[in-house]
Structures are given as structure tokens and as C-alpha cells.
A and B are shown apart, each in its own frame.
Chain A
């Protein structure tokens, strides 16, 4: 079964760093881009960017450029999303998703990681 499994919920104080993960299985992880999508409480989906685990090539949405960092460890089929200094507005659900290159749609999604930033 093709799946993406994300790390668990996090509660952090403002200014702290955080790295969440997304582990793929059931397919060749290095052959597909992985996208990250933010969903703030009660709001819609926002595309953050994509990473190609095969060579760690990245593309960031202009809205998130410089705010977050994507990385990947292809030896363990895992992609990461990290913050160096969290802010309260980073409170959201974060999804990873596999990109299908012929339609540029996201066909497999992780279950989401809820990040809460609060003092």
C-alpha cells in the first residue's frame, strides 16, 4: 500500500525550532516530488512548496520562501519540514502529499501533523 505517514502533533513555544517528518512507503520514494500544504484552523489549503527526495531539489511558494525549510533523507524515505523560530500564526495542520507529474496533482496524502505554537 502506498502511504505517507507523518510525525505526531507538536506543541511549542514561540521562538522555538521544530522539524516534522513525512515517511513514504509502498513506492519508490525518490521518484516523486513531495509537497507540503498548510491548513490554518477553519481555513483552506495553502501550498507551501515541493521537494524532490532524489536530489533534494526544492521549490518554495513565494508566501513561504524564507519562512520554512524542506529537506529529505532518501536513505530512510523521509521528507522534513522545519522552522527555525516558530510564531503563533504557524499554528496549523501541515500535510505532506505525493505529486503526480503528469497531472501536477497530489494523489497520496499524509494524515497531517498539527502544530500548535503558544506561550
Chain B
């Protein structure tokens, strides 16, 4: 099975900072890699699908990209409402895997 590692597990940043989260696959995978935001007490929300496509209605400060087996999620300018836990999610061979999550808060 393909394993997904996500880093960092948490981070603190200032409003306006660029925030980067990485999800790494244990082997080469196709672009079935999605990113979610989960605010406290709420259901997850799909932000990025197919590694780099912005879901309809999601602010453009959110971005996803891929380099080899590394997938990167970026918030270009952190806003107070971006405080949340972010998860990557992968699909392969009838199995879905969520990364362990990255908790983002304001410094």
C-alpha cells in the first residue's frame, strides 16, 4: 500500500505569511491527491482536487502543486479565518488515505 506522510504536524504563522504544507507519497502516484480544510467543530471542506485544481468558490490564496512524489499545499497570505487543520487525501487501487493533518494557527 502507498503511504502518505504529511509535514509539519503543526505550525504557527503571522497574518500575511506564506504557509506551506507537504504531503509525500511512498511511491510514484498519479494526481489523485486532494486537500481539505477542517475548522474546529466543522466538517472537512474540499479546497484543492487533482493536486492543483481549486474547488469552486475557494479563495485564490490557496494553491496546490506537485513535484515528483511531493505534493505541496500553500496559503499565499494567511488570513485569520484560515485557522484550521489541513489534510491531504489520496486514492489508489480502491483505497483512500488521509494524511495525519497539519494544524495551522496564528502566531
Name A residues whose Cβ lies closer than 8 Å to a Cβ of B.
Answer: 35, 37, 44-47, 50, 59, 61, 95, 97, 100, 102-107, 109-112
Known: A37-B44, A45-B101, A50-B96. 19 other contacts (CB 8 A): A45-B89, A47-B89, A47-B95, A47-B97, A47-B98, A95-B43, A95-B44, A97-B44, A102-B50, A103-B34, A103-B53, A104-B34, A104-B91, A104-B96, A105-B34, A106-B46, A107-B46, A109-B45, A110-B43
Can you list 11 residue pairs at the A/B interface with Cβ under 8 Å? A44-B100, A45-B98, A46-B98, A50-B96, A97-B44, A103-B34, A103-B50, A104-B32, A105-B50, A106-B44, A106-B89
Inter-chain contacts of B55 with A (CB < 8 A): 107
Name B residues whose Cβ lies closer than 8 Å to a Cβ of A.
Answer: 32, 34, 36, 38, 43-46, 49-50, 53, 55, 85, 87, 89, 91, 94-101
User: Are A105 and B98 in contact, with the CB atoms below 8 A?
Assistant: no
Inter-chain contacts of A110 with B (CB < 8 A): 43
User: Are A103 and B32 in contact, with the CB atoms below 8 A?
Assistant: yes
Total A-B residue contacts, Cβ distance less than 8 Å: 62
Inter-chain contacts of B50 with A (CB < 8 A): 102-103, 105
A47 to B50, CA, bound (A): 18
Give B3 Cβ to nearest chain A Cβ, in Å. Answer: 14
Inter-chain contacts of B97 with A (CB < 8 A): 47
Give A91 Cβ to nearest chain B Cβ, in Å. Answer: 17
Give B101 Cβ to nearest chain A Cβ, in Å. Answer: 5
Inter-chain contacts of B100 with A (CB < 8 A): 44
Give B83 Cβ to nearest chain A Cβ, in Å. Answer: 17
User: Are A44 and B34 in contact, with the CB atoms below 8 A?
Assistant: no
A109 to B34, CA, bound (A): 15
